[in-house]
Amino acid sequence: EKGGYDSFMLKEIYEQPQAVRDTMGARIDRENKRVILPELKMSDAELATYDRIYIVACGTSMHAGLVGKDIIEKWTRVPVEVAVASEFRYRDPIYTDKTLMIVISQSGETADTLAALREAKKSNVKVLAITNVVGSSVAREADEVIFTWAGPEVAVASTKAYTSQVVALYLFGLYLAQVKGTLAAAEVATIVEHLETIPGKIASMLEDAEQVRRFAESTKGINSLFFIGRGLDYAVSLEGSLKLKEISYIHSEAYPAGELKHGTLALIEDNVPVVALATQPDIYEKTVSNIVEVKARGAHVLGFATEGDYDLAKTVDEVIYMPATLPMLTPILTVIPLQLLAYYASVARGLDVDKPRNLAKSVTVE
């Protein structure tokens, strides 16, 4: 059932090109290069009225939501707030009749996410769910559902569900932009064309995991690791850090690169590993200057750069190159080596990759 892989997690990492392709599936109108979401029951006119969005989820699903926030705001100019479900359910959120709530849950059974959904519905807020399980509580109780078609995810650490959720958010963001008219048809077409090349790019990244494996092995004796990045790179860093903690038990933190000097830089000393993501052109120089700061304190830096950027190599100790795509789509590629890093760090320590201590696949109690 592991299909020749020695763990479900590795199998699921390698299933990502398919999971992402299936989630795009029939939702891309290839002829007209636009997005269609036939599953939405509400009219386009209604969808266009929403002027504020809450994205509520837990863990990795919340991290997908952070990527979603940036893309929805950029493409539609609708303000989006991302909240952790266990916090949100006890808040007194500010709703108007133009507020849309998006809940994201792989299992569709996470207690806090479900409770947040129920609270919103009590206040008559429209709830759109992004979930991977047909017939789950979240799918049944939400007003609208966009399914991710990742297939069953067995490993406790979520991988293909995350990339599929990010795709679902891209599709929703594009659809909302079409409906609101905030992106020109030609802009949508360009993004759609790039989206369609993503599964192939993930596949090519999965072909050669050797460099990540070696870096992961080098972390065997260390007990702390940092991830830094800005903007979308920061959002993905959070996911990389969670994955690593979860299955390798290495303490790690993800920091917005510019925030380091406000405290965390004190922890950087000789040979502390830092994974630095520098894939976003508009803030590239700023990130590089933060990398220089950690290098000056002796950090061992693994940089993530976009193919064609051969400058970063001059600043960091080693570089992993992401296939070139639109900067907004990079998160779905950047996360792949981060998943592999967590995986190989766990394997190097002889741990049970699929069943990390203290954790359950589906958190159905508060």
Nearest-CB residue for ligand F6R: 59
Q: Sketch the per residue contact string, 51 through 90, with ligand F6R: x for CB under 6 A, - otherwise.
A: -------xxxx-----------------------------
* DSSP class of 143: S
CB 151 within 8 A of CB 160: yes
Q: Which is nearer to ligand F6R, 241 or 279 (CB)?
A: 241
Residue 63 identity (one-letter amino acid): H
**306 versus 334: smaller Cβ distance to ligand F6R:** 334
Radius of gyration of the chain (CA): 20
Q: Does 351 bind ligand F6R (CB under 6 A)?
A: no
The catalytically annotated residue of 121, 286, 295, 361 is 361
DSSP 83: E
CB of 107 within 8 A of CB of 85? no
Q: Does 113 bind ligand F6R (CB under 6 A)?
A: yes
Smallest gap from residue 121 Cβ to ligand F6R (A):
17
- Which listed residue (110, 164, 219, 306) binds ligand F6R by CB under 6 A? 110
107 near ligand F6R (CB under 6 A) = yes
Helix 160-180 with 331-348: angle, nearest 10 deg: 170
246 binds ligand F6R (CB under 6 A): yes
**Considering the rule CB under 6 A, would residue 363 count as an interface residue with ligand F6R?**
yes
33 given a catalytic annotation:
no
Minimum gap (Å) between residue 310 Cβ and ligand F6R: 33
C-alpha pair distances (Å), 305 with each of 268, 308, 324: 22, 8, 9
Q: Which is nearer to ligand F6R, 158 or 241 (CB)?
A: 158
Shortest separation between residue 214's beta carbon and ligand F6R, angstroms: 24
Answer for the pair 64, 82: CB distance below 8 angstroms, yes or no. Answer: no
User: Between the CA of residue 261 and those of 266, 267, 268, what are the distances in Å?
Assistant: 8, 10, 11
Which residue, 110 or 280, has its beta carbon nearer to ligand F6R?
110
Q: How does 330-343 read in b/e, with b if 16+ C-beta sit within 10 Å?
A: bbbbbbbbbbbbbb
List the strands of the sheet with 273-277, edge to edge. 251-256, 224-229, 273-277, 300-306, 318-322
Strands 52-57 and 99-105: parallel
Of 290 and 339, nearer to ligand F6R (C-beta) is 339
Q: Does 290 bind ligand F6R (CB under 6 A)?
A: no
Q: Considering only the stretches 101-109, 120-128, 186-194, 306-314, report the one whose residues sit in contact with ligand F6R under the rule CB under 6 A.
A: 101-109
Q: Cβ closer to ligand F6R: 105 or 306?
A: 105
For binding to ligand F6R (CB under 6 A), which residues are involved?
Answer: 58-61, 105-107, 110, 113, 157-158, 242, 246, 362-363
Residues with a known catalytic role: 361
